[in-house]
Amino acid sequence: MPVEDLTSRKEVASLLRLAGVHPSKRLGQNFLVDRTVLDAILAEVKRVAPREILEIGAGLGTVTCELARIAPRVVAVEVDRRLVQILERTVGNLKSVEIQRQDFLSFNFATTFDDRRTFVVGNIPYRITSPILKRLVEKRESISHALLLTQSKVAKKIAASPGPDGTALGVLVRAYADLSLIRPIAKECFYPVPKVDSILWRLSFLAHPRFSASQEVFFTVVRALYGKRRKMIRHALRDLLPIERIAEVLSTAGIDPTARGEGLTFQQLDRLALAITPSQPQP
């Protein structure tokens, strides 16, 4: 049965029903059914005009078929066997589309893209947003941009990092990428309708991170400070440093001991990590 419009709520419901598929809450399956949002996604992709695109969670192929009009190669990753069968029907005949049934968290960029920098697109379920973002950062040398649809609250916390409204995850992401919030997406733009609104946002990975200290030390500091965000820095560092060294380290870094860790900028976090580094065991 040909699918006329994958942004039609009625058409999507019919397609799922005929395939015997009930959207999985566990997998966060909420399918985009809004042409305006789809157009916004495509406009962002066209700005970069990538030659290769990796789509995380291709679902029914709503975005996939349009991406195939932009890039010569689209690798559509989908973990759900039932949806892969639908994808074979909706986009399987498109020469530029390669469907891969697998978990993105185990996706091998090197063997698929020969280490070229790839444009990533994904509608990311809330339950696995954090591990996916960590994976994107881990594979940043293979990625130029990531255009994501996520729960609005998550993206805004990342955009606010570092800062009082930010998170340790947000610091991790923004340490390696510029972030742009593009447009809010109402929950009614999906089928089934989720409980929360989403947002479309873009990551552009940097050539160099925003810090110069050891990566291990830098993020050990970040986790320590954000893990005890209501405490003054001199207290938050007690699990990380001997008490007698804390004053010296903070003085070297030029950090107010009574400040809260989540208030530090990237530059201040870097200075603090550099001041701590000599105390770390040498290999």
Q: Is the pLDDT of residue 115 over 80?
A: no
- How sure is the predictor about 127, in pLDDT bands with cuts at 50, 70 and 90? confident
Distance CA 155, CA 261 (A): 21
Domain 9-205: assigned CATH number: 3.40.50.150
Residue 215 has pLDDT above 50, yes or no: yes
Cα–Cα distance, 89 to 129 (Å, whole number):
28
- Cα three-residue angle 8-9-14, rounded to 5 degrees: 100
pLDDT for 280 beyond 80: no
Fold matches, 9-205 and 215-277: no
Mean pLDDT of the chain: 93
Average pLDDT over residues 9-23: 92
What is the model's pLDDT at position 2? 47
What is the pLDDT, as a whole number, of residue 76? Answer: 98
Give percent of the chain above pLDDT 70.
96
Q: Is the pLDDT reported for residue 129 higher than 90?
A: yes
Is the pLDDT reported for residue 95 higher than 70? yes
Band of pLDDT at residue 3, cut at 50, 70 and 90: low
In the chain, domain spans: 9-205, 215-277
When pLDDT is averaged across residues 257-281 and rounded to a whole number, the result is 89
Average confidence (pLDDT) over 38-55: 97
Identity of residue 268 = Q
Assigned token pair, 72: 């010569």
Question: Once rounded to an integer, what is the mean pLDDT over residues 99-107?
Answer: 96
Which one is predicted more confidently, 26 or 185?
A: 185
Residue 4: per-residue pLDDT:
62
Q: What is the reported pLDDT for 51?
A: 95
Residue 282 in this model has a pLDDT that exceeds 80: no
Residue 278: pLDDT band (50, 70, 90) is low
Q: With beta carbons less than 8 A apart as the criterion, state whether 12 and 22 touch.
A: no
State pLDDT tens for residues 62-80. Answer: 999 999 999 999 999 999 9
Residues 234-244 have pLDDT tens digits of: 999 999 999 99
What is the per-residue pLDDT across 221-262, written as a single tens digit (0 to 9) for each?
Answer: 999 999 998 899 999 999 999 999 999 999 999 999 999 999
Q: What is the pLDDT of residue 26?
A: 80
Q: Is 215-277 in CATH node 3.30.390.10?
A: no
